[in-house]
A and B are shown apart, each in its own frame.
Chain A
Amino acid sequence: MAAREQTVLQFVPLSTSLSAKVHPVVIFNICDCYVRRPDQADRVIGTLLGSISPDGIVDIRNSYAVPHNESSDQVALDIDYHHNMLLSHQKVNPKEVIVGWYSTGFGVSGGSALIQDFYSREVPNPVHLTVDTGFRNGETSIKAFVSVNLALGDRQLAAQFQEIPLDLRMIEAERVGFDILKTTLVEKVPSDLEGMEASMERLLALIDDVYKYVDNVVEGRVAPDNNIGRFISETVASIPKMSPAAFDQLVNDSLQDHLLLLYLSSLTRTQLSLAEKLNTAAQIL
């Protein structure tokens, strides 16, 4: 969007490096608000909280819905509500500030410019996040925009919404486990050992895949791919080279440490049940 000198119609230049990161909790919150929207409402809008790092990455970490009324040509936001909620949120975490606003629906719609205008008074350059809860294209569409002013000479003509790169920070969701988050009902939170089992099974499956691939390449059934080959050799090389004796020593030491701990904990438990019996038994005096 370089502004050429001859043209009068120009965009106010924008810091181009702007991008946004969204944490899964924000998506969850927006979806929840949408499910709970009032009867007659088509969409929900709300405020996004987070922080802006010096290099222009907007980190969107929290959100809350703001009640609003929308007719064909005007939008009424509950500004009091917005401010109350902001105060409450800042009591908990003063580091989270307004970074923009969200709306459900596909892309930018008519009233968006008005709301964008309101939020630009709260924070310079607000980010507008749209979450398509209607799955208009048959797939998820979560987009972030910033507005760019379109000016004719000195006159402000309109605001143009420009899409900025959006990074969905799914690592946190991964930590919880997609198995829990993507189904509508999970009977039980997996315990430590069950989780371990699942992870090991996945690891074994991966190793199997690699074996199969290598075998196929060796036997000429699959065309070799140098990139994959490098990855595999890197992976194999990342296993530290140790003499078998040193390795056995290491494993055995670790095993024994853990056995000792187990022993200690069983001893403690036995002690506890003994103490319990002694303490609550009738004292004969």
Chain B
Amino acid sequence: MDATFKVQRYDPESQEGSHYEEFEVDLPEYGSVLEGLLDIRDHQDGSLSLRCSCRSAICGSCSMKINGESRLACKAMVSDIKETEGDIITVEPMGNMPVIKDLVVNMDMFWEKVEKIEPYLQPTGPEPEKEYLVSNDEMMKLAVAMNCIMCGACVSDCTVLEVDKTFLGPAALAKAFRFAADPRDGAQEERLESYNEPTGVWDCTRCFMCVQACPKDVAPMERIMDIRSMVVENEIDKKGRGQRHIQGFIDGVKHSGRLDEFGLARKTFGFPIWAFELADLGIRRILRLRLPPIIHKSIKSAKNVKKIFENLGV
């Protein structure tokens, strides 16, 4: 099977900036994008740099953007892509992280966020002599989040991280769920309190990009929603952020037909946190020209949206 790869190249040691190069490869019937890239590296241009190891979607090394979407190169089958997305396969490094060379990015920011959620079991009370007795169901509920191989695809495609580097992000929060929901953990309350802070679970805009990007069906956004539920159910959310966030979301869309980001942040975190703690985010957004409009305009069919809400009794 022939395929054309259009690969983003960048070598900090050369004068040439970031650019694209095209390669023709011949692959076996079920060849992956990774096999295509290895063929290029092995037989055409050994200077192509990428991270890879297991070839079976378990080590998490080979995340990259393939036709604009973050995926594992070893799991992206060339024949599938050709069938549904066209003949040319464009390969670029992950987003939201600085490029070191070609398809290799610096993941420091990713690991720092994972470390921030205190990613280790913190049992309290006397340790059992053997194992903790827990039900299989309780363990398997965590296994969904344990599927995470920390490949970075969700962080690469996260639309919040694009504008707000302080957000803990989908990978770290999916891991946070794994500990907060572990019956053996003794720090659940402290964990939920910290994930409830600004930069935590309420910063997710539910854009679904991480769910789509995740190659292991962890569905990070759903894990973030799980934590939100735990925050509300455990009455951690004494400042009522969760409830206000949900109400703010509804009010905004009901009123104008679209999300009022300014209003949402103001309602979720309340005054003065909204004004002070989020001020630097606002400034960064202004600098990157990504500030939501201060004057919130309604969409044309806002009236119809309002009717939908009224019919639903919301």
- Are A and B a genuine interacting pair, yes or no? no
